[in-house]
Structure 1
């Protein structure tokens, strides 16, 4: 039986399929040989210390005194500006009261000068002038009456001298009374007003100073956080030279590790790098974090691990690591921080 030959179209399709299969196999082989495996491994280790989210703040006294009261205990949460302790302030309180009274007095003096004399003061001044006029009139008549008596020898010279002295004194009293009345009628001079205003400003400044000193008797926390430690107790004396630390406050809402990377490993540190933190106090546990800050300056080693091979003369680079929220560690705990980097390797061919 005679078989029909395949048509040219079918032969073409079969050839294309064979070529496509060959090229696909070669491409898969090339892709398989070029595929890389990426993994992370420890690239550096650094000793460190656990810190609060913000640096520990030492809250100190600003004046000399005796602690009267503590408003907080250790582990209490505080807000920024909250009073944590009070220094005995009876003397400072009295100074504020005195300064307030002085300010009120100076204000009253200025008001009297600006508003002029009251009707009662004018009537009092007019009465004083009338009294001085009457006294002067009597003293003049007495002096004039004794003059001829003294010339004739009927009255001693001493009596005449006394009459003259009384006349001079009466004239002086009349002059003072007249000036007082004139001053009340014409009002204060501009220089008197300026002087009164200057005294008022001085009293106001003294009150502000007294209040500022009084406010320093209240020791406040400059930041929100947790009272990590109270370093003094009620009844103990504190001073501002040098400043006496009363309490230590830190923000524990987030923890950091301040790690010290050896100078030989600083090229392996990058921001946002993955970090694993371990501590002898928590065997078998690993705490995760990320590099949030890298210092731009080398420094001396501060963290001492106490290990026999620990070098203390090496230069280090400080790095801050933000720990995950799940990490609950005490502030000041010594830890080891392991920095992770990527390891790239070729995937073996099939």
Structure 2
């Protein structure tokens, strides 16, 4: 019994020394990601790629065009709606401005001319009427003079109404109808332009084109969105680590970590825990090691790598969460 207790005490002492020598409170596998995660760019329309404007590893700005989808038909719709809008705006402007000064002067001159002709016709009729009564003029001559007088009176009335309309300007309801047409065509033009814009595939962020997945001539669809490229912000790298549920009590936001990778033997890269998830989930990062447990629950931790660290995106790495006492040393 004494021998057993001695062995237990020795084992406890050894484990205590070993834990003190271990600088890591916990360890976890992870993957290198760009800041803000990778962004997969897909098409919003069905069509054929006309051209791809960037290559892999190219730097791209936010909202920069990445690819163009064949858009001749939609471009024609935009041109048609713009033309209709311009015509409607011209009609409205014409109603608002009324007749031109030249049209006003012309209408008044015609009215004055008709007044003069009407005066002459009235004089002719007044002269022939007593002559007919005395038998000096025929009935036909009087009828002809009366007809000409009546015709001029009607023409003069019509011209006077035309002058009144020109002077009064457009009716309120006509202007309202013209404005409604302009607003409708503005909306149609805006919609057509928005649809045309969807044929230009743009980068949602500033970053680097990590992968080009489609080429000119290939078909794309928005039903099951077709990925065209992947973009990421490489100005700062992050690691998405998967911490075993038995170790989650040993990690904290702000904790320092050391990152190692099989691709860089003997090298360690520093970082800091930036965020810890609040929900456990299934394991996604597979190391391929024989001792790996694949059915365990894990908690994701986002780690900001130090600014000078440059690693390939998607690289599988191992994360050691530095124990507080090791950090103090």
Provide the TM-score with structure 2 as the length reference.
Answer: 0.73
Match runs of 1:123-134 below 5 Å: none
Q: Render the CA deviation track for 1:237-264: whole Å, top value 9, x for unaligned.
A: 1122222211100011211110000000
Report the more deviating stretch, 224-233 or 286-295: 286-295
What displacement does 1:179 show?
7.2
- Show the counterpart of 1:216: 198
Q: Render the CA deviation track for 1:80-106: whole Å, top value 9, x for unaligned.
A: 111111112222222222122111111
1:246 aligns with 2:246: no
- Show the counterpart of 2:9: none
1:99 aligns with 2:84: no
Note closer, same or farther for the CA distance 1:125–1:330 as it changes in structure 2 (3 Å cut).
farther
Give 3-state SS (helix, strand or coil) of 1:280's partner: coil
Report the more deviating stretch, 258-267 or 56-65: 56-65
Match runs of 1:108-127 below 5 Å: 108-118=90-100
- Show the counterpart of 1:322: 304
Q: Render the CA deviation track for 1:93-138: whole Å, top value 9, x for unaligned.
A: 22222122111111111112122234666658998xx9xxxxxxxx
For residue 231 of structure 1, the aligned residue among 173, 191, 213 is 213
Gap regions ≥5 residues in structure 1: 1-37, 131-172, 345-350
The count of residues paired between Structure 1 and Structure 2 equals 269
Give 3-state SS (helix, strand or coil) of 1:212's partner: helix
1:186 aligns with 2:137: no
Note closer, same or farther for the CA distance 1:330–1:115 as it changes in structure 2 (3 Å cut).
same
- Show the counterpart of 1:305: 287
For residue 68 of structure 1, the aligned residue among 50, 53, 56 is 50
Distance 2:285 2:68 in 1: 35
Distance 1:271 1:184 in 2: 79
Give 3-state SS (helix, strand or coil) of 2:214's partner: coil
Give 3-state SS (helix, strand or coil) of 1:303's partner: coil
Distance 1:264 1:178 in 2: 99
Distance 2:49 2:260 in 1: 41
Distance 1:215 1:181 in 2: 49
What displacement does 1:75 show?
0.4
Note closer, same or farther for the CA distance 1:268–1:106 as it changes in structure 2 (3 Å cut).
same
Note closer, same or farther for the CA distance 1:218–1:121 as it changes in structure 2 (3 Å cut).
same
What displacement does 1:299 show?
1.6
Distance 2:216 2:158 in 1: 62
Distance 2:49 2:161 in 1: 58
Match runs of 1:30-41 below 5 Å: 41=23
Judge conservation of contact 2:30–2:239 (CA < 8 Å) in 1.
Answer: yes
- Show the counterpart of 2:3: none
- Show the counterpart of 1:42: 24
Note closer, same or farther for the CA distance 1:124–1:96 as it changes in structure 2 (3 Å cut).
farther
What displacement does 1:313 show?
2.2
Note closer, same or farther for the CA distance 1:176–1:246 as it changes in structure 2 (3 Å cut).
farther
Note closer, same or farther for the CA distance 1:118–1:247 as it changes in structure 2 (3 Å cut).
same
1:83 aligns with 2:88: no
Note closer, same or farther for the CA distance 1:178–1:331 as it changes in structure 2 (3 Å cut).
same
What displacement does 1:69 show?
1.5
Distance 1:342 1:304 in 2: 28
Provide the TM-score with structure 1 as the length reference.
Answer: 0.69
- Show the counterpart of 1:336: 318
Distance 1:314 1:298 in 2: 10
Match runs of 1:276-291 below 5 Å: 276-291=258-273
Distance 1:212 1:105 in 2: 21
Give 3-state SS (helix, strand or coil) of 1:54's partner: strand
